[in-house]
A = this chain, B = another copy of it.
Amino acid sequence: MTSNETSEQASDETRKPADAAERTGVWFVGARGSVATTAVVGALGVSHGLAPTTGLVTEHPELLPDGLPDLSSLVFGGHDVSSQSLLKKAEALAAGGVVPAAVVSAVSAEVETVDAEVRPGHVSGEESTAEAVERLASDIASFRDRHGLARVVVVDVASTQPPVDDPEQMVGLEDPLPVGAVYALAAFRAGAPFVSFTPSPCLRLPVVVEAAERSGLPYAGCDGKTGETLMKSALAPMFVMRALELRSWTSVNLLGGGDGETLADPEAARSKTLAKREGLDAIAGRPVPGPMHIDQVEDLGEWKTAWDHVRFDGFLGTRMTLQFTWQGCDSALAAPLVLDLVRLVSAAHAAGRSGPLPELAFFFKDPIGATEHRLSEQWRDLVAWREGLIA
């Protein structure tokens, strides 16, 4: 690896027009986690015609899928701190009902190939931030070179990190940066666009924002919008449009293992609840009271159940109630969005876009650079932006 491969100028080199033969790299931070594994198994399964494209937003004709990288053109690799193999994880997900066992066994050899592309992740305190950025960037660049990829999109799907107390203080590499920020800096250094799918503060730290600016690369985030927050972004606008007064909105999330375990740590959960609250209040135009809980319920496994209780007033103050129960599989909801983001950010990069991509707010609980939380409006913005990429 030569130094300019990982320099911020490297990004220019990768700006060749997209063509059919072109292959796109996907570099997962947290490559052996549930979301990354489901995305890998799913991309392979769909490519081989073993599963329909359900859940893939970018297959909508309005998003002009023909101009986006094919799932079959994606090449996967990543960082992780876990040594449990991707295939083991895929088998565990199959046992938990997240992915079909038949698909996992059909693509198992390819999954092992991906696993061979996973490099050791960064652990705070085990190396200096500067060393880490250099090492991680080198891993990404070398992946790109080795496979002759048109570009690599880095997607952070690592475990949720606690929020940062004084984000605006984090201006240099010497500060105690959250791990997500280290990966973002490495991506930019390697000339790779970056997507934060976790509830991470990293894309708002001055040190990261400045590096992104210098790199001229596009980036997007953060915190994938999959379950209850998705529901809120579809439902809360209904109350507003109909002038029905939201009096309280209670949210209870029951999560099984994996991310649930991380979120059982109240500090980490705080990142998540902050991101979840914001959208509702923004749509309502004022804070809507009501408790919000994220609880780990071990035996739910990969499944999540959310119960929401919404009290609203109608005409003349008449008291009414809406309750819903959402029973979803988080990884199966998140994985196709991750692939959508790779395709769209890849197209943005090919089209020379740089900086935050607020038009991707449709995918996020806490969209960088955007204030729009209403799902339908986000969809319109997304469609318009996608059309604009071509013009």
Contacts and interface: CB of A to CB of B under 8 A. Distances in A.
Interface string A349-383: 00000000000001000000000001111010000
A131 to B, nearest CB: 37
B38 A315 contact: yes
A245 interface: yes
Contacts of A175: none
Given A42-B316, A54-B316, 6 more contacts: A52-B245, A54-B243, A54-B314, A231-B322, A300-B311, A307-B309
A323 interface: yes
A38 B298 CA distance: 27
A311 to B, nearest CB: 5
Interface in A39-87: 41-42, 45-46, 51-57, 59-60
12 contacts: A52-B317, A55-B314, A57-B241, A99-B316, A99-B318, A248-B298, A291-B297, A305-B309, A314-B329, A314-B336, A322-B327, A374-B376
A167 interface: no
Nearest to A45: B316
**Most central of A46, A56, A97, A323 by chain B CB within 10 Å:** A323
Interface of A: 38, 41-42, 45-46, 51-57, 59-60, 97-100, 103, 230-231, 234-235, 237-238, 241-245, 247-248, 250, 252, 254, 289-291, 293, 295, 297-300, 305, 307, 309, 311, 313-318, 320-329, 332-333, 335-336, 362, 374-377, 379
B97 A97 contact: yes
A55 B243 contact: yes
A248 B260 CA distance: 15
A184 B377 CA distance: 37
**Most central of A42, A248, A374, A376 by chain B CB within 10 Å:** A376
Contact of A243 (B60, B250, B300): B60
A118 to B, nearest CB: 22
Contacts of A329: 314, 318, 320
A72 B245 CA distance: 22
Contacts of A322: 231, 324-327
Given A299-B248, A305-B309, A377-B376, A234 B243 contact: no
Nearest to A363: B242
A56 B241 CA distance: 10
Contacts of A321: 305, 325-328
The 9 closest A-B pairs by CB, nearest first: A376-B376, A55-B315, A318-B332, A234-B238, A324-B324, A291-B295, A247-B299, A314-B332, A321-B327
